[in-house]
Structure 1
Amino acid sequence: MLTLTFRTATSDDVDALVALVTSAYRGEASRAGWTTEADFLDGARIDPDVLRQDILRPRSLVLVVERDGRLIACAHIAEEDGAGYFGMFSVSPDLQGGGIGKALLEQAERTVRDEWRLPAMRMTVIDLREELIAFYQRRGYRRTGIHKPFPYGDARFGIPLRDDLRFEVLEKDLSGASA
């Protein structure tokens, strides 16, 4: 594997990030990887204005992974309710399964634990995504049993193709983890 470069996204990255996130989750291109949501959702995966706000607000950043100058992965981390929040996790579909996502998740956890000094990382996952939830469980996340409604009617986050979507909160204790 070639060397991966990690950096923090800037507003100049918004268009490239929207394209990457969309390719990982929506439409036919997303079917090349295993993270596709194309069977549940259509339309946008991330709103450019929301993304720009996430990049600019305090205690929030988008981690970018590049290889040979190509943006190949990203994730949003932020402080929410005394813990880290992990979301918008995307790896280019043609590179999924090669360890890039694991490296990015580990970098996000290091940032939240070592730089922000937060005790836990949380995320929300569509609870129908058993394979994805299992991926996170293998990395120390646990299902909390806490569910949140899917934002039906808000096209900024996709057009639902079914009426039974909801999120489950997953959490990992970072206090015992070492760098």
Structure 2
Amino acid sequence: MQVRLAAISEAPALVSLINAAFRVEKFFIDKDRIDMVQVEAFFGSGFFLVAADDAGLAACVYVEQRADRGYFGLLSVDPDRQKTGLGKRLVEAAEEHCRKLGCRAMDLQIVNLRRELPAFYQRLGYVETGTGTFPPDVVTKLPCHFVRMSKPL
């Protein structure tokens, strides 16, 4: 499995992969996680790392430099390939890219309703640093907010 930078030409495959991975959120939100316009916009402010093999994209993560801090989000693993270490591998690759860019810390945010996620990121060295409001234009079935997490690099 190769980890590499994604090309913008892979945007359709990224949309499919991200939406498949985020289907677990259907219990609190009805809409797809992302669309083509959003993915293309992300290429303007950061980059996607992908894990790919002959079968196609298996996982991806969005990475962005924000001054001396890195940020990642949209960590997505094909549902048939979850629990294989791909998520951890992509987080580590994102951290390494940000280290090379001179970042001193890495940030992320997760939805509080995804109760399994804090423990996953804590095992990778992240700690909770605060909360944030969910976008007001996104209609949810349940009240929710973001949990922010960070890690020194």
Q: TM-score range by the shorter chain?
A: over 0.9
**CA contact under 8 A between 1:152 and 1:160: conserved in structure 2?**
no
Runs (4+) of structure 1 exceeding 6 A deviation are: none
Q: Displacement, 1:81?
A: 4.5
1:107 aligns with 2:54: no
1:170 aligns with 2:130: no
> Superposition RMSD on alpha carbons, in Å?
1.3
> Residue 16 of structure 1 aligns to which amino acid in structure 2?
A
Could you tell me which residue of structure 1 aligns to residue 140 of structure 2? 160
Could you tell me which residue of structure 1 aligns to residue 17 of structure 2? 20
Which structure 1 segments of 5+ residues have no match?
27-35, 175-179
Q: Displacement, 1:127?
A: 1.6
Could you tell me which residue of structure 2 aligns to residue 55 of structure 1? 43
TM-score (norm 2): 0.94
Partner Cα distance (1:11, 1:49) in 2: 11
**CA contact under 8 A between 2:67 and 2:103: conserved in structure 1?**
no
Partner Cα distance (2:58, 2:28) in 1: 24
Partner Cα distance (1:5, 1:69) in 2: 12
1:76 aligns with 2:62: yes
Give the number of equivalent residue pairs. 153
Match of 2:118, SS state, is helix
Match of 1:125, SS state, is strand
Which structure 2 segments of 5+ residues have no match?
none
Could you tell me which residue of structure 1 aligns to residue 6 of structure 2? 9
Could you tell me which residue of structure 1 aligns to residue 102 of structure 2? 117
**CA contact under 8 A between 2:68 and 2:102: conserved in structure 1?**
no
CA deviation profile, 1:4-40 (whole Å, cap 9, x unmatched): 11121122111110000000012xxxxxxxxx21211
CA deviation profile, 1:77-135 (whole Å, cap 9, x unmatched): 0012431001010000011001111111111111111x211001000111222211110
Identity over aligned pairs, percent: 37
Could you tell me which residue of structure 2 aligns to residue 65 of structure 1? 51
Q: Displacement, 1:69?
A: 4.5
TM-score (norm 1): 0.81
> Residue 147 of structure 2 aligns to which amino acid in structure 1?
E
